[in-house]
Amino acid sequence: MSRARPSAEFERLRTDAASCTRCALYERATQTVFGEGPVPAALMLMGEVPGDREDVEGHPFVGPAGRVLDDALAAAGIDRASAYLTNAVKHFKWRPAGKVRLHQKPNAKEVAACRVWWEAEVALVEPRLLCCLGATAAQAVFGSSFRVTRQRGTFVTLPTGVEATATLHPSALTGIADTHAADDVCPRPTLPGGVDPRPDAKKPIKDKGCGGKLPDKTLGADVTTDVVVK
Ligand code: SF4
């Protein structure tokens, strides 16, 4: 039997996710917000959960945090269109507050239920670097003991061979416009050795963000047991 083309596999994955009922979050959300971008892609950015605008529009990173991310990517010389963007959890979790819907953090069961989708995305996208944005995404990949504030910028090779790191979610810096903050949002991601994951990169780029931190010695063990990307 011939193997389906990656694009066909991706469309089937997106279609399957659109009708997912693996946890209760689908009941109150407008739609599944699946990942978008080139497949394959050198850089995959994974946020936490869709926000209000993402839920309405059906696309990741289109709200205020998305604009912060756009600025950070532009400052890093990375074309947003060259990266694959997704979230660790695909349905908006919220609670009513008057006429607005307030974002709620997904719990561990919801994050675990949604794992099959981002694992499948990683398998198809085959990124050279997976950059987790925020604690929920980072802990989904590296394990519950991972602390973004302490371990962001750490590079870990996942069992599949994909390099992964984590940094703050753009929403943490919404409203902060200085250059240093922009670097913190997306710290010019590089692979170990200074290799630039940008598809058109000609030479290594200087890491102005969180690089240079030594990996936590316990992290490798966590990842070995917690991250199995099939
Ligand atoms: S949040 Fe994820 S696991 Fe839960 S219903 Fe939505 S797609 Fe399925």
| Residues at CB less than 6 angstroms from ligand 1 | 17, 20-23, 25-26, 32, 89-91, 110, 113-114, 117
Structural domain including 222 reads: 6-226
State the average pLDDT over residues 224-230: 28
Q: How confident is the model at residue 195 (pLDDT cuts 50, 70, 90)?
A: low
Q: Classify residue 144: in a domain, yes or no.
A: yes
Q: What pLDDT is stored for residue 57 in this prediction? A: 97
Whether residue 63 lies inside any domain: the answer is yes
What is the whole-number distance in angstroms between the Cα of residue 132 and the centre of ligand 1? 18
| Tokens found for residue 197 | 């994951």
Pocket test for ligand 1, best of 117, 119, 136 (most atoms within 8 A of CB): 117
The band of 63, judged by pLDDT with boundaries at 50, 70 and 90, is confident
Number of domains in the chain: 1
Residues 132 and 226 sit within 8 Å (Cβ to Cβ): no
Q: Helical H runs in 35-134? A: 52-57, 64-75, 108-125
Please report whether residue 121 resides in a domain: yes
What b-and-e string marks burial along 189-224, b requiring 16 or more CB atoms within 10 Å of the CB?
A: bbbeeeebbbeeeeeebebebbbeeeebeebeebbe
Domain-embedded: residue 1? no
**Chain centroid to CA 59:** 13
Nearest of 186, 185, 193 to residue 212 by alpha carbon: 193
Ligand 1 centroid–CA 119 distance in Å is 13
Q: What is residue 173's predicted lDDT score, i.e. its pLDDT?
A: 74
Q: Which of 89, 118, 136 to mutate to test the pocket of ligand 1 (most atoms within 8 A of CB)?
A: 89
Question: Closest by alpha carbon to 88, among 180, 15, 166?
Answer: 166
Candidate from 31-45, 55-69, 200-214 with smallest mean pLDDT: 200-214
| Domain-located, residue 44 | yes
Between residues 188 and 31, which one has the greater pLDDT? Answer: 31
Residue 216 resides in a domain: yes
CATH number at residue 171: 3.40.470.10
